[in-house]
Structure 1
Amino acid sequence: MGRILAIDYGTKRTGIAVTDELQIIASGLTTVNTKDLLLFLNDYIKNESVELFLIGEPKQMNNTASESESYIAEFIQKLEKQIPNIPITRVDERFTSKIAFQTMIDSGLKKSQRKNKALVDEISATLILQSYLYSK
């Protein structure tokens, strides 16, 4: 079995989370500059077996696509061209950033540490991945 890699796409930074090989545990992996995302993914799959890419699908409260969806759709087209053999699944990511921030508070991180937006992105990717695993 390969890993599942979750992507919380942002225009500046992208949070990435991954499962273990048995697809049981979701863990934050890293946050990368979005401009380097495709390079990072290509390097990652050279060293690790990835079975599926999960990409967050931001929606408004009325279930319509958010403003950032156009950027994500453009990224997905590039990803499908560069790595066509790994399927992509979209996962509703509403509230993940808020839940990630609350998780940081609940875990006792200091205020200065909670300002780390890269950490919020990584936790958000982990939440996207966990919600997918729970739904399986």
Structure 2
Amino acid sequence: MGRLLAIDYGQKRVGLAVSDNDKIIATALETVAENEVLDYLKEYVEKENVEIFVLGMPKRLDNSPSSNAAAVEKFQKKLETIFPDIPISLEDERFTSSLALDAMISGGMSKKNRRNKANVDKISAVLILQTYMERTQSY
């Protein structure tokens, strides 16, 4: 039994979130610089059993790929090469940034912390993971 690890990929920063081993709770893990994320994931996978990567796929309202989709697909190929035994599930990430900002406001986070894009990226990864867990949960 392993954890689910969500990735909100950006060309500058990458938000990460992880589930507990029972796959009930999604928790923000870290925001990592894009050029350091693969090393971070290698270290994390050495310590923790990751069952699946949940990679946020950016789409437009009409369901077509957004401008960042090509970068996400390139990152996906790197993940598949480095971690061939860990499957990758693509999860629609539309609106996660605005939902993350709403969650930060309703949670009482200060303006200063809301302006920190690293916080938005982590919370976006949590939302991607929660969406995946709700969609795949068997009752």
Do both share a fold (TM > 0.5)?
yes
Aligned positions, number: 136
Q: Counterpart of 2:30?
A: 30
The Cα shift of 1:55 comes to 0.2
**What is the alpha-carbon root mean square deviation over aligned residues?**
0.5
The Cα shift of 1:111 comes to 1.0
Runs of 4+ in structure 1 deviating by more than 4 angstroms, as ranges, are none
Q: Counterpart of 2:87?
A: 87
| CA distance in structure 2 between the aligned counterparts of 1:12 and 1:93, rounded to whole angstroms | 17
Give the letter aligned to residue 99 of structure 1: L
The Cα shift of 1:112 comes to 1.1
Whether 1:131 aligns to 2:124 is no
Give the letter aligned to residue 15 of structure 1: G
| CA distance in structure 1 between the aligned counterparts of 2:81 and 2:125, rounded to whole angstroms | 23
Kindly provide the CA deviation profile for residues 41-97 of structure 1, in whole angstroms up to 9, marking residues without a partner as x: 110000000000000011001110000011111111111111100000000000000
The Cα shift of 1:113 comes to 1.3
Q: Counterpart of 2:72?
A: 72
| CA distance in structure 1 between the aligned counterparts of 2:87 and 2:128, rounded to whole angstroms | 16
| CA distance in structure 2 between the aligned counterparts of 1:80 and 1:133, rounded to whole angstroms | 21
The Cα shift of 1:110 comes to 1.3
Q: TM-score, normalization: structure 2? A: 0.96
Q: Counterpart of 1:122?
A: 122
| CA distance in structure 1 between the aligned counterparts of 2:73 and 2:109, rounded to whole angstroms | 34
Gaps in structure 2 of 5+ consecutive residues: none
